[in-house]
Amino acid sequence: MAGHVSVNEAVDLSRIMAAQARLAGRVRRTPLLSSRALDAIAGRRVLVKAECLQHTGSFKYRGGWAALSALADAVPGVVAASSGNHAQGVALAAAQQGRKAVIVMPSDAPEAKIRGTRALGGEVVLYDRAHQDRDALCLEVARARGLAQIPPFDHPEVIAGQASVGLELAEQAGDIAAQVLVCCGGGGLSAGVALALEARAPQMHLRTVEPEGFDDMARALATGRVTPNDARSGLCDAILTPAPGKLTLPILRRLAGPGLVVSDQQALRAMALAFAHLKLVLEPGGAVALAAALFQPEAIAGECVIAIASGGNVDHAVFTRALEEGARHGDC
């Protein structure tokens, strides 16, 4: 199969630095922001790495470009499965490289993400989460069209590309000692950032953050066993995965602290607070790390916490709901 990648391929510093070199001049160096109002809520200094300002509205462009730019020139295109952020990152990277991108998306994905993927040139194939196997569908498309598969997180070049977030963070934060909270689905961003921090900022320690009901990574980190999620859909669509990745879990078991879990209400409130005090638009899945920083202070050590705001592709109705939730609590 074109583009097949063995899960035994190592993700090490040399691969990360090679991906960083290919990303040079392509990705935005996203800012590290702060607000005294957020510090007061959390009871410590809070820094927010605004990956919602990255191309296509999430960190996923980094991994998309890194993976596609590592393919042989003869590969005509790729197929990827995504609820929207990986979809848009891959679609843009493919268009920039003159390749075809077929994106397999759940039919209940946010309309903003479906529209965004098509606008970037991606061919969208919708499927029913409850009754269809997306991996089987991707394999069928890849074989029929001779395309490479670019999975959303369990791919060494994707992980290496996402690690560039950690490399930037290490430069921006300097010698600050902090726990770094990362929104986590399958663990591609978390694993990449953990590896980057190990190499460039060992005084920082990573924690994964997931929504309630989809905390498969937190459970796996605690027990060493993978117990897939039964639920199929939820508010934080960007980070709803059935189980941790085969590549990402061993990295995070070695480098990450205990996983954190937040409620949907906390994610919505974090969205409202980010808008009010940082002027950022976040989606629910992109706000869970900030939610943990703000509303679970007892689970976090140290005088400073860093949250990665991983994405901002949100439908109008969900963002309105977040602002209403924030208003109800007096957050904005």
pLDDT digits (tens, 9 = 90+) for 166-190: 999 999 999 999 999 999 999 999 9
Distance (Å, whole) CA 150 – CA 24: 21
Say if residue 287 is in the same domain as residue 232.
yes
Distance (Å, whole) CA 61 – CA 174: 25
pLDDT band at residue 8 under the 50/70/90 scheme: very low
- pLDDT tens by residue, 213-238: 999 999 999 999 998 876 667 898 88
Answer whether residue 3 is part of any domain: no
Please name the residues in contact with 238: beta carbons below 8 A apart, sequence gap of 6 or more.
58, 83, 84, 85, 183, 185, 283, 284, 285, 286, 310, 311, 313
Answer whether residue 5 is part of any domain: no
Active site residues: 60, 310
Answer whether residue 34 is part of any domain: yes
Say if residue 69 is in the same domain as residue 216.
no
- Containing domain of residue 123, as a range? 60-149
Amino acid identity of residue 9, one-letter, is: E
- Across 288-315, average pLDDT: 97
Say if residue 280 is in the same domain as residue 221.
yes
Number of domains into which the chain is organized: 2
- pLDDT tens by residue, 91-107: 999 999 999 999 999 88
Say if residue 242 is in the same domain as residue 266.
yes
Cβ(92)–Cβ(160) below 8 Å: no
Say if residue 46 is in the same domain as residue 176.
yes
The pairing of beta strand 205-211 with beta strand 179-183: parallel
Answer whether residue 230 is part of any domain: yes
Answer whether residue 218 is part of any domain: yes
Distance (Å, whole) CA 192 – CA 179: 15
Say if residue 237 is in the same domain as residue 274.
yes
- Other C-beta atoms closer than 10 Å to the C-beta of 6 total 7
What's the pLDDT at 3?
41
What's the pLDDT at 6?
45
